[in-house]
Amino acid sequence: MNQLQSLRGMVDILPMQIQHWQAVELVAREQFHRAGFKEIRTPLLEVTELFSRSIGEATDVVGKEMYTFSDRGNRSCTLRPEGTASVVRAVVEHGLLSKGLQRFWYGGPMFRYERPQAGRQRQFHQIGVECLGIDSPRCDVEVIAMAWDLLHSLGLNDLVLELNSLGTPEDRKKYRVQLLDWLHDRRDQLDVDSQKRLQTNPLRILDSKDPKTCSLLKDAPLLEDSLCNESSIRFESLKHTLEVLGIPFALNPRLVRGLDYYCHTAFEITSRHLGAQATVCGGGRYDGLVEQLGGPASSGIGWAIGMERLVLLLDDSFKAASSPDVYFVNKGEEAEIKALDIARRLRAAGLAVELDSSRASFGKQFRRADRCGAKWAIILGDDEMSNGEVRLKKLHSTNDPSIVKELVTSSSDLDGLLAFLRS
């Protein structure tokens, strides 16, 4: 029988990798809590219309990348390709905006049918925030600062915040006419994908990764020249506030993001260590999205961080160790039962205890204890059972790895045992 394997782009995250993910999630949860953001969890599966209405029919995500199928009720369903639309749908459906400003964070898997590559799979994971109900450049800066501070708290310093203003829908309509005229005159110089986008989503041509097209676009009209006075003032206020906070940024007039719901502020935080797919965090303002999905007119801004890309960048010094506090070496029928009893009591007291249940020789169990990275080994065999004691062996001494400390304590004295193990 052939061995079954996971689908292409659907990757297992194994225990030795999970420890890095959990370390990131722990830091993120704490930062979100301190900023007053509450967790929200939305379904993986939504009606397809949610994404076609919000993201845009002409985007690559909707047109090429979504996992869409009909269920038994003949309803078109889609595995969520991003998190914002689902959060906004939940806010509208449950009338949360009637309760004032809403601040949420979320995390979990997203799905896009695209070519798997380093840091991006067909099932990928994001953590993100959404802030709904405040139309203020200061709110934009707060949200951007949260992403910037989170990444720096994870030890990432070689990052660039790229910034642009997409203006209002009217600003973009004005710019679209100018850009289309300019692009049509140079149609033959565009790559094939960009030629197709001329009729569907010309602003996405600005985000092309084709080298020749990128070179050509250096002379294209700029969106900033089409911004109305109000949009320009707003963008200047955003930049000034970032400068006051000491958050460096680089203006990127070609930054348009890939989803149709964005307006005004658009930003990405990138790393030169990720190659062509350099974006670690991306987001922006989406003031029309709530109304577009059937809710009241309301503002919104948010961002998402790709977990796979983020973990690739983490320094080994940050990646949290998942080593147990204690490795329990035990052998003998009565000793094994007593070891289980002691292990349960130590776990209840807050220690991480790995109990060897292999019944292997003491030598093999000690080798496992050395490999697991535990600070202490507890030894319990027939001799120890007869004497009513356990032996403690200190592993991986910080002063000299070759030196170990061996102690003997009563197997019934939990307080004494805990004192040694916490020393």
Domain boundary residue, one of 254, 288, 313: 313
What is the rounded average pLDDT of the residues 144-170? 93
- Same-domain pairing of 343 and 285: no
CATH number at residue 66: 3.30.930.10
Report residue 37's pLDDT band, with 50, 70 and 90 as the boundaries: very high
- Same-domain pairing of 286 and 382: no
Report residue 421's pLDDT band, with 50, 70 and 90 as the boundaries: confident
Backbone angles phi, psi at 70, to 5 degrees: -95, 135
- Same-domain pairing of 237 and 99: yes
- pLDDT beyond 80 at 174: yes
CATH number at residue 364: 3.40.50.800
CA distance 300 to 138: 13
- pLDDT beyond 60 at 280: yes
- Same-domain pairing of 344 and 298: no
Between 254 and 363, the more confident residue is 363
- Same-domain pairing of 71 and 39: yes
Query: How does pLDDT run across 331-380, given as a tens digit for each residue?
Result: 999 999 999 999 999 999 999 999 999 999 999 999 999 888 898 999 99
> Are residues 138 and 241 in contact, defined by beta-carbon separation less than 8 angstroms?
yes
Query: How does pLDDT run across 308-333, given as a tens digit for each residue?
Result: 999 988 865 565 556 889 999 999 99
> Are residues 270 and 257 in contact, defined by beta-carbon separation less than 8 angstroms?
no
CA distance 325 to 341: 17
What is the rounded average pLDDT of the residues 255-271? 86
Rounded to a whole number, what is the largest CA-CA distance in the chain?
92
Residue type, 406: E
Q: Is residue 220 part of a domain?
A: no
Mean pLDDT (the chain) is: 89
Range of the domain at 98: 15-168+228-313
- pLDDT beyond 80 at 397: no
- Same-domain pairing of 104 and 161: yes
Token pair in block for residue 198: 């001329």
The helix-helix angle for 414-421 and 333-348 (nearest 10°) equals 70
Token pair in block for residue 169: 């829908």
Domain boundary residue, one of 265, 288, 313: 313
Query: How does pLDDT run across 192-244, given as a tens digit for each residue?
Result: 888 888 877 788 888 787 888 888 888 888 888 899 999 999 999 999 999 99
Q: Is residue 185 part of a domain?
A: no
pTM check: above 0.75: yes
Residue 198 has what pLDDT? 83
- Say what percent of the chain tops pLDDT 90: 62
- Same-domain pairing of 252 and 379: no
Domain boundary residue, one of 280, 313, 346: 313
